[in-house]
Structure 1
Amino acid sequence: MKNHVVIAGLLAVILLFAGCVSESPEETTTTITVSAASSLTDAMTDVAAAFEEDNPNINVELNFAASGTLRQQIEGGAPVDVFASASQKHVDLLQEQDLIENASRVTFAKNSLVLIVQDGNPLGITSAEDLTNEDVVKISIGNPETAPVGKYAKESLESMGLWGNLEEKTVYGENVRQVLTYLEAGDVDAGFVYMTDAKIAKNNTIEIITTIPTVTEISYPVCVLKASENKDEAQMFVDYLTGETGKQILTDYGFTAE
């Protein structure tokens, strides 16, 4: 009888020990929010997926919109950890308000502006000057107030002396992807988008006519926000974006990686 008691006691101790081992705390997962310009949608989605695979304890939530819209969200207190803009201007404005970690700011990519038309080029457009022709009725650009692609396009048209003749024809898109959608659907005659967006257009919907020289270089800065509660993880993402894997993904999508 005593032997049974001893054995039962030993089993209880073993089970208790096993229970303690199985209840050891699991590693926690940290979630960071990355707000990025619409033109980065495809590339940033792939970068985030690769980052999560290499850092399984960090989850990345992506928020895409026009850079100006994202900046306004941040100024309004949106919980953002990393901001990747399609222009220096919007990060400059945040920096002036002391809303970013200055040391984290880095330019990671560059792009170019192109004039696109409907597939088959039914109006025979060969240059930006041709947009002044009477048969060209609608031209789409991003809203210059919020979408950097629109600001770049407007500056270029002004420098060529064309803006005054084209302003009444313009249809504003909320961001570069909306401009591309207008052309893919045949809702406008021509538009200005980034080269990287033109390259991912639906098959047989648009044609690239020419690259448009820009007054301001199209460059993309990224930074960590001061309000971030996960600055270490946010900086890890910035480092990954500007590292070997990030650069390769950006290059694959047609960006010039810095």
Structure 2
Amino acid sequence: MKQYNSCYRYALLLGMLLIEPIVQAAEVKVAVAANFTDVARELVPLFKQTTGHTASISFGSTGKLYAQIGNGAPFGVFLAADSERAWRTEASGLAVEGTRFTYAVGRLVFWSSTSGQFNEGESYLRSASFKRVAIGNPKTAPYGHAAKQVLEHLSLWSEVEPKLVRGESIAQTFQFTATGNVDAGFVALSQVKGWRERGTLWTIPQKYYSPIEQQAVLLSKGRDNPAAIAFVDFLRSVAARKVISSYGYGVE
């Protein structure tokens, strides 16, 4: 009888240990900059496989996501496309101090979905032979701001501005370009890699624009959420960094 009770207790304990991870599994809502869409979709199942937690992703321009966070949106983690908005959330008390870090360094490219659209991007822009070029809104989209810096570096902003089609986010900018509604567009290298179709590409020299340091931060609403904490840690992992770099981002 004692042996039976001992076996029973052992089976009960083992069952509790097996169930425990499921009970403790949590979910986090993550605000993600639009340029990181394809990467995030690949990271989410890897995150669940690695930690047992789940993440639901909301994509948008960094500026709009920042505004939503300020208005009380229930996000636990913020993956911005720049360092400024991540810093602002921390400085204003919307994020946990000391959790901000660079998870990716973005690359800006000039791309057309049509093969042979141009021989060299800079010469093409100077020729002004195009009808329309897509750009992210420089006020809300960090990649749009970087694109404006490129045109200003080339002393072409005033000349090209009348032909610019502005996307609310870099995702919309890429959509304009991929569908051929514009001749070419300033988009993220990661988007072109995610598209995996041929076109015409100019990888813009990084000295033409300020480094696009994309920073993540644990938001105050995720302070006590184990899934939010785990997601921030997961972004620093070797597995996550490998996926991020495969899309053309720099990782520190």
Fold similarity call, TM over 0.5: yes
1:5 alignment counterpart: none
Deviation at 1:28, TM superposition (A): 4.4
SS at 2:120 equivalent = coil
Report if aligned partners of 1:224, 1:231 keep a CA contact under 8 Å in 2. no
Deviation string, structure 1 residues 153-206 (Cα, Å, up to 9, x no partner): 0122112211111111100112222222212211101110111112222524x3
Query: Take 1:233 and 1:180, find their aligned partners in 2: how far apart are those partners?
Result: 31
Query: Take 2:104 and 2:154, find their aligned partners in 1: how far apart are those partners?
Result: 26
Structure 1, unmatched stretches of 5+, are: 1-13
Deviation at 1:117, TM superposition (A): 2.1
1:84 alignment counterpart: 79
1:103 alignment counterpart: 98
2:204 alignment counterpart: 211
Instruction: Give 1:68's aligned amino acid.
Output: G
- The structure with the largest helix share of the pair is 2
1:198 aligns with 2:192: yes
Query: Take 1:61 and 1:210, find their aligned partners in 2: how far apart are those partners?
Result: 32
Query: Take 2:42 and 2:112, find their aligned partners in 1: how far apart are those partners?
Result: 28
Instruction: Give 2:122's aligned amino acid.
Output: A
> How many pairs does the alignment contain?
237
RMSD: 2.3
Report if aligned partners of 2:39, 2:244 keep a CA contact under 8 Å in 1. yes
Deviation string, structure 1 residues 207-248 (Cα, Å, up to 9, x no partner): 103424343101111110113253443122111111111111
Deviation at 1:125, TM superposition (A): 5.3
Out of 71-80 and 248-257, give the one that drifted further.
Answer: 248-257
Query: Take 1:107 and 1:28, find their aligned partners in 2: how far apart are those partners?
Result: 28
Pairing 1:1-258 to 2, within 5 Å after superposition: 27-56=23-52, 58-122=53-117, 124=118, 126-201=120-195, 203-204=197-198, 206-213=199-206, 214-228=208-222, 230-258=224-252
Relative to the length of structure 1, the TM-score reads 0.83
Structure 2, unmatched stretches of 5+, are: none
Deviation at 1:118, TM superposition (A): 3.7
Deviation at 1:150, TM superposition (A): 0.4
Query: Take 1:163 and 1:195, find their aligned partners in 2: how far apart are those partners?
Result: 22
In our comparison, the structure showing a higher alpha carbon Rg is: 1
Relative to the length of structure 2, the TM-score reads 0.85
Instruction: Give 2:45's aligned amino acid.
Output: A
